[in-house]
Chains A and B, each alone.
Chain A
Amino acid sequence: MRCAGIDIGSRTVKLAVLERGRLVLSRKSVTTYNPLQTACDLIRDAAFDTITATGYGRHLIKGHIDCPVISEIKAFAVGARFFSRDCRSILDIGGQDTKAISLDEEGNMSKFEMNDKCAAGTGRFLEVMATALGFTLEEFSSAALSAEKAVKINSMCTVFAESEVISLTTQGAARNEVALGIHRAIVSRSVALMKRIAPPGNVFFAGGVALNGCVRSLIESELDRRLFVPEDPQIVGAVGAAMSTG
């Protein structure tokens, strides 16, 4: 039996197919202005027996194909255990949401916290700031890692922070130090969410932002805990959706 999960996120659509407990297919695509079409394209030639939807666009696809839906919080809670059997705490930083989730010993969700309704401190925030500084996302992370000190960014609103970054660069601040400041700002947000729910042990880090090396190392030092990042941190929600029916 092949169980599929589709995670329609605000920036990326992800598809995962599991067969006998193994991940046999994973695909990703940029969400675009038409998430339903993107999702349909992604699943068109994939072979599966069941499919479960999650993510920001989960109810959209439900109107198109009859499938169960689960929240992305549950999807991450379930999916994390596929990659890490005993994890108790999960941090997911996606395109427009940041989630901190704690699990009990059996893997049931025992508490979750999310960012405020705006995109402050999420992947989208990083994207906008990288563009403002003229970096690609990869360059952005390595530039920040190369800085010896950080310029403090005070604003967490994506729009205000962009003005702040522009004003700092016109004052001659070093680009890599501003980059580190931005990474520090988003990490402090996520760490505060994690500390609110405070589950023990290693932290399972998922979502697109987990691909950013600077964010990873800052979180590890701020939380003083080891991070576990799966090989493809973006696929965790889709895997969780697939598992929820399997």
Chain B
Amino acid sequence: MSDYTQMWSSLGLDLKAHDALLSVLGGAYTDIFLSQKNRPEGMKYFDFVMSEVHGLRIKELMDAKAQGRKVIGSYCVFVPEELILAVDGVSVGLCAGAEFNFEGAETVLPRNTCALIKSAFGFKLGRVCPYLEASDVVVGENTCDGKKKSYEILGKLVNDLYVMDLPQMKSETGRALLKEEYRKFIKKLEDVSGKKVTTESLQKGIDIVNAKRNAMKRLAEIRSADPAPISGLDALLVNQVYFYDDPVRFTESVNKLCDELEERVKKGIGVYPNGAPRVIVSGCPMAVPNWKLPMVIESSNAVIVGEESCVGERGARWLTEAKGGTVDSLLDQITDRYFQVECAIFTPNPSRVDYVKQMAKKLGAKGIIHYSLQFCQPYIVESGIAEKELEGAGIPTLRLETDYSQEDAGQLKTRVEAFIERINKK
């Protein structure tokens, strides 16, 4: 690995804390990912990306910045990458998945804040996230109360925080609000980049992102095979890298992986034996390096065949129907695309559970594990509704509430093992 010390210093990182973080991350990656048996060859690319996640990829971002391109960081799948690409910007996801510097985060946030938000603040205050430090603009969005209120505090900690409002109901006024917010976001992007969004540049952005999402849809479909050709952990990793990597190179790598997986399916090769219990994980997003629950599930000899999550199908499954001739008509298509996202901040949100049912059928899953982060009210409240409906439809469901710490690993394992014993009988 090259020496990136100078680059990290120039970004203002706390080198000692950053080294400590990378060493924990590297150790966890080796234990959780590299120890898996019979992994697809195509995962080597993603292993490489992860090994250089704070190195080579950051260097690419710095090179892009030197060429006058802007890096736009965001925390949510409602921030359209198409628009960022239309001003030749680079889109990076900033969500954090490690219990790092929570004591620092708790100096500005209440203790009863979800781990996702606390982690983002821990990273910022601890100066260990090069993506955040390299971002020219950080985009916040009014999803849950925890996030929208904490952006008021984050705004004082970063150079340029741009907050986007989001609707909470799938109504006509909700859609109009979303379109207007996207229009304002275009203006913001044009201002910081000095570039105009044109029909051509927007069409190009749409094409790139559609290709990326098509590759993810392809991967999601292959996972319906039994035996499962790829582990849930590896598939989650691909979904996580989605938010960091160069979109064109990422798309090629996912398609290459899919070619290999299709071959595996033809030959009946899998990472778990035929008939291994299959589950879907549904709920809150899992940002790198939050691999705790999938690790518990797959070390209990079940295989995860789908993620109904922002880091998963909820983030990637819809395409933008690009057929308009003007920026405004393309913006309409983009709005329609994002307006379908089944986030629990919407009320009511019945299509989410409907889709989980469809996924279970399509992927041959025997049960759903609903994952909520502690203090994430939208998903925790919705988990009760989802459980009732899924169990009513004959789909066994386990609701779990957890955070980024390891203290409940034992309790989680007991619940997961018992759930697998339950679904294995049917």
Contacts and interface: CB of A to CB of B under 8 A. Distances in A.
B151 to A, nearest CB: 29
Contact of A117 (B391, B408, B417): B408
Given A117-B407, A117-B408, A112 B422 contact: yes
Contacts of B410: 56
Nearest to A70: B421
A70 B418 CA distance: 8
A108 interface: yes
Nearest to A110: B422
Contacts of B407: 117
Given A97-B411, A117-B407, A71 B391 contact: no
A111 interface: yes
Given A108-B425, A109-B422, A111-B391, A71 B408 contact: no
Contacts of A116: 401
Contacts of A71: 414, 417-418, 421
Nearest to B299: A59
A109 B401 contact: no
B187 interface: no
A72 interface: yes
A117 B407 CA distance: 9
Interface string B389-417: 00100000000011000011011011101
Nearest to B422: A109
A59 B402 CA distance: 21
A56 B425 CA distance: 23
Interface residues of A, number: 16
B381 to A, nearest CB: 15
| Central interface residue in A71, A72, A73, A110, by most chain B CB within 10 Å | A71
Interface in A88-144: 97, 108-112, 114, 116-117
Contacts of B402: 117
Contacts of B421: 70-71, 73-74, 109
B258 to A, nearest CB: 36
Contacts of B414: 56, 71-73, 97, 114
Contacts of B418: 71-74, 109, 112
A114 B415 contact: yes
Interface string A159-195: 0000000000000000000000000000000000000
B318 to A, nearest CB: 34
B407 to A, nearest CB: 7
A71 B413 CA distance: 9
B394 to A, nearest CB: 11
A107 to B, nearest CB: 10
A115 to B, nearest CB: 9
Nearest to B412: A117
B277 to A, nearest CB: 13
Q: Give 3 closest A-B pairs by Cβ, nearest first.
A: A73-B418, A71-B418, A71-B417
Interface of A: 56, 59, 70-74, 97, 108-112, 114, 116-117
8 contacts: A56-B414, A70-B421, A71-B414, A71-B421, A73-B421, A109-B421, A109-B422, A112-B418
Given A73-B415, A73-B421, A109-B418, 4 more contacts: A70-B417, A97-B411, A108-B422, A111-B391
